[in-house]
Chains A and B, each alone.
Chain A
């Protein structure tokens, strides 16, 4: 799989990433490389994430899509051997510059993980966690309001409003994941990163999360990593296909799925491998 890669793809990317000029670019990555120790996990990836669309990252296991997602809010910082080069900007600000406060960055770029990971606290405390640590709610009443509106936006309010004091871990898997989304949006982020948010859920819970993503579209820039190509087709407007650390193709979801430019994209989408 070493033939025909870097140069062709690079030109392809930049050309592809540019046409949608009328949208507002939220995050932009240029020539990003990620190394884990000596292994080169992400190679020269350049991509724009815009505010108006849901962007899906697809690709076979180990292709680097989750790794790349984690560079967008610097979660790779928690892995001592990880090293990132290249530029990533949020509203034009370099997020890897020494002036960037990681804590602030992560408040602006929220994240939802593969496995629901509510804290072993009450539902209320889970959602209130971010507002509390960032001092967003001066009074208890404000906090109540934030929690309620976050739970409403996450479509969980009706199910939990009478038991906000129950443990977050006692909810069902799908509810837990929506709780995690509520937790993320409670700090009013600008971008939400979702790392295979439905891979641990059953189809009904998955459908609910997908509905939620539709509802949240436009309010937040959303990037979702998924294994499931139907899901990418359902929830996203733009799709990026990763393979072996390269960004192979990036464009309108409809185009990627119906008329991919790259042979490898076509092979993956038609189920030839992955």
Chain B
């Protein structure tokens, strides 16, 4: 029986459990002399949860482990003895055998797969039945346990409440555990990379050319410094030169000068800017901004101006980041008590003097935190640089020259045709890990700053 049918079966059993428990609870409560603690519906939910939840949890776990159980079983059959011992080929034969077992008409590349297919089919059927039987058994056991507890004095309501909390807890843990999982997988792959390439070569090497990797000393052409320089130059310098002043000024306008009516319109529009898919900014950078900048650079006399300049990517990225800086700055300026503003105005300061001398200094921590978050977003941004920046890894201060970023290189490394465990591909994970650590630290610092600053006014 496949998992879907099983899922519905379990849910059906849960429903039946709900109905029978409700009927029983209703009856018991009616004849009972004491006042019942919980209402029939609550008893019913309790029974339904006990029927469905353990069975579903088991089903989930079973779907995760049964493929490997099936595989083990197949490998133990005599037909499997001819298989290559390890590696890619072995996996692909087993994969084909599985496909054949499910669909006999499927084409097979390896002949061995055809031999294995019946064994695979048999093992699958067996484990599928075991799983089904255990699931149903568990559902009935849960039902029996819960059903037997239905009585007027049983506190089903509190139990159900606790289950609700548990479900919500699990839901919120999923995001955290996923992040943790990503981090661990990055760590493992990076460890493999660093076993081939010394970490110092990677972190401090200034030469990046993954296309030509020497097999004796791969670290020589995998120095990440140019990438981090490019990332820093595009994301933290050029983009911020655009985003900080414009974001800040728009926040100041919106909080201090704009009439409420204007603010009501402008703030949402600015926030829409944050919702534009980055790939659209990528087009804009590659098709409009980059050529314009090249022409401009040529006009200025830069002979070899690239049409994929750091400036184009950085400028567009800066525009993309404006709403982030603006909304963080807006929040922190608005959090400065009005009494500060009034105090300054009452001293005869003009609005702009008040902003420069009182509001901005007072909201500085929040603004700085906003900028840090914006930087961490900018350096993690991929689409714009993939589309508008070239792959040349150079350490340059000339914004008209091409530059590349970490994210852009990760894309390049992983979309090539290289084997998956070559230093070249593994370098992508090391880059990813480094970037992860950097943005993670930036976020922590930013959140700390925000927290400290919130405390100051509350």
Chain A residues within 8 Å of B, Cβ to Cβ: 73, 75, 78, 80, 102-107, 110-111, 113, 115, 117-121, 129-130, 133-134, 180, 183-184, 187
Q: Which residues of A contact B456 (CB under 8 A)?
A: 120
When C-beta atoms are compared, the residue in chain B nearest to A105 turns out to be: B348
Q: Which 5 A-B pairs have the closest CB atoms?
A: A107-B348, A106-B348, A117-B339, A111-B346, A117-B343
Q: Which residues of A contact B358 (CB under 8 A)?
A: 119
Q: Which residues of A contact B260 (CB under 8 A)?
A: 80
Q: List 28 A-B contacts (CB under 8 A).
A: A73-B346, A78-B341, A103-B348, A103-B349, A104-B348, A105-B348, A106-B346, A106-B348, A107-B347, A113-B342, A113-B343, A113-B346, A115-B339, A117-B337, A117-B339, A117-B342, A119-B340, A119-B343, A119-B344, A119-B362, A120-B361, A130-B349, A133-B347, A133-B349, A183-B343, A183-B347, A184-B347, A187-B348
Chain B residues within 8 Å of A, Cβ to Cβ: 259-260, 337, 339-350, 353, 357-358, 361-362, 456
Whether A106 and B345, one on each chain, are in contact in the complex, defined by CB atoms closer than 8 angstroms, is yes
In Å, the complex CA distance between A104 and B348 comes to 6
Q: Which residues of B contact A130 (CB under 8 A)?
A: 347-349
When C-beta atoms are compared, the residue in chain A nearest to B261 turns out to be: A80
In Å, the complex CA distance between A106 and B342 comes to 11
In Å, the complex CA distance between A184 and B345 comes to 11
Q: Which residues of B contact A75 (CB under 8 A)?
A: 342, 345-346
Q: Which residues of B contact A104 (CB under 8 A)?
A: 348
In Å, the complex CA distance between A113 and B341 comes to 12
In Å, the complex CA distance between A210 and B345 comes to 25
Q: Which residues of A contact B350 (CB under 8 A)?
A: 103
Whether A120 and B362, one on each chain, are in contact in the complex, defined by CB atoms closer than 8 angstroms, is yes
Contacts between chains A and B (CB distance < 8 A), count? 67
Q: Which residues of A contact B361 (CB under 8 A)?
A: 119-121
Q: Which residues of B contact A183 (CB under 8 A)?
A: 343, 347
Whether B259 and A80, one on each chain, are in contact in the complex, defined by CB atoms closer than 8 angstroms, is yes
Whether A134 and B342, one on each chain, are in contact in the complex, defined by CB atoms closer than 8 angstroms, is no
In Å, the complex CA distance between A180 and B346 comes to 11
Q: Which residues of A contact B353 (CB under 8 A)?
A: 133
Q: Which residues of B contact A78 (CB under 8 A)?
A: 341-342, 345
When C-beta atoms are compared, the residue in chain A nearest to B351 turns out to be: A78
When C-beta atoms are compared, the residue in chain A nearest to B364 turns out to be: A120
Q: Which residues of A contact B347 (CB under 8 A)?
A: 106-107, 110, 129-130, 133, 183-184, 187
In Å, the complex CA distance between A259 and B259 comes to 48
Task: Please give the distance in Å from A218's CB to the nearest CB on chain B.
Answer: 22
When C-beta atoms are compared, the residue in chain B nearest to A111 turns out to be: B346
Question: Given A75-B342, A117-B339, A129-B344, 16 more contacts at CB 8 Å?
Answer: A73-B346, A75-B346, A103-B349, A105-B348, A106-B346, A106-B348, A107-B348, A113-B342, A115-B339, A119-B344, A120-B340, A120-B456, A129-B349, A133-B347, A187-B347, A187-B348
Q: Which residues of A contact B362 (CB under 8 A)?
A: 119-120
Most chain B beta carbons < 10 A, residue from A78, A80, A117: A117
Whether B339 and A133, one on each chain, are in contact in the complex, defined by CB atoms closer than 8 angstroms, is no
Among candidates B340, B348, B349, residue contacting A117 with C-beta atoms closer than 8 Å? B340
Contact A110-B349, Cβ < 8 Å, known A119-B358, A129-B357: no
In Å, the complex CA distance between A119 and B358 comes to 7
In Å, the complex CA distance between A121 and B356 comes to 13
In Å, the complex CA distance between A75 and B339 comes to 12
Q: Which residues of B contact A103 (CB under 8 A)?
A: 348-350
Q: Which residues of B contact A117 (CB under 8 A)?
A: 337, 339-340, 342-343
Q: Which residues of A contact B344 (CB under 8 A)?
A: 119, 129
Task: Please give the distance in Å from B135's CB to the nearest CB on chain A.
Answer: 63
When C-beta atoms are compared, the residue in chain A nearest to B343 turns out to be: A117
Q: Which residues of B contact A187 (CB under 8 A)?
A: 347-348
In Å, the complex CA distance between A117 and B350 comes to 18
In Å, the complex CA distance between A115 and B260 comes to 26
Q: Which residues of B contact A80 (CB under 8 A)?
A: 259-260
Q: Which residues of B contact A102 (CB under 8 A)?
A: 348
In Å, the complex CA distance between A187 and B347 comes to 8
In Å, the complex CA distance between A129 and B361 comes to 13
When C-beta atoms are compared, the residue in chain A nearest to B259 turns out to be: A80
Q: Which residues of A contact B342 (CB under 8 A)?
A: 75, 78, 113, 117
Task: Please give the distance in Å from A151's CB to the nearest CB on chain B.
Answer: 16
In Å, the complex CA distance between A102 and B343 comes to 14
Whether A113 and B339, one on each chain, are in contact in the complex, defined by CB atoms closer than 8 angstroms, is yes
Most chain A beta carbons < 10 A, residue from B260, B343, B358, B361: B343
In Å, the complex CA distance between A103 and B352 comes to 12
In Å, the complex CA distance between A274 and B344 comes to 32
In Å, the complex CA distance between A129 and B353 comes to 10
In Å, the complex CA distance between A258 and B259 comes to 48
In Å, the complex CA distance between A118 and B456 comes to 14
Task: Please give the distance in Å from A241's CB to the nearest CB on chain B.
Answer: 25
Task: Please give the distance in Å from A89's CB to the nearest CB on chain B.
Answer: 18
Task: Please give the distance in Å from B428's CB to the nearest CB on chain A.
Answer: 46
When C-beta atoms are compared, the residue in chain A nearest to B353 turns out to be: A133
Q: Which residues of B contact A118 (CB under 8 A)?
A: 343
Q: Which residues of A contact B337 (CB under 8 A)?
A: 117
In Å, the complex CA distance between A75 and B337 comes to 16
Q: Which residues of A contact B346 (CB under 8 A)?
A: 73, 75, 106, 110-111, 113, 184
Q: Which residues of A contact B259 (CB under 8 A)?
A: 80
Task: Please give the distance in Å from A234's CB to the nearest CB on chain B.
Answer: 25
Whether B340 and A133, one on each chain, are in contact in the complex, defined by CB atoms closer than 8 angstroms, is no
In Å, the complex CA distance between A80 and B340 comes to 18
In Å, the complex CA distance between A105 and B348 comes to 7
Q: Which residues of B contact A129 (CB under 8 A)?
A: 344, 347, 349, 357
Q: Which residues of B contact A115 (CB under 8 A)?
A: 339
When C-beta atoms are compared, the residue in chain B nearest to A78 turns out to be: B345
Task: Please give the distance in Å from A195's CB to the nearest CB on chain B.
Answer: 10
Q: Which residues of B contact A110 (CB under 8 A)?
A: 346-347
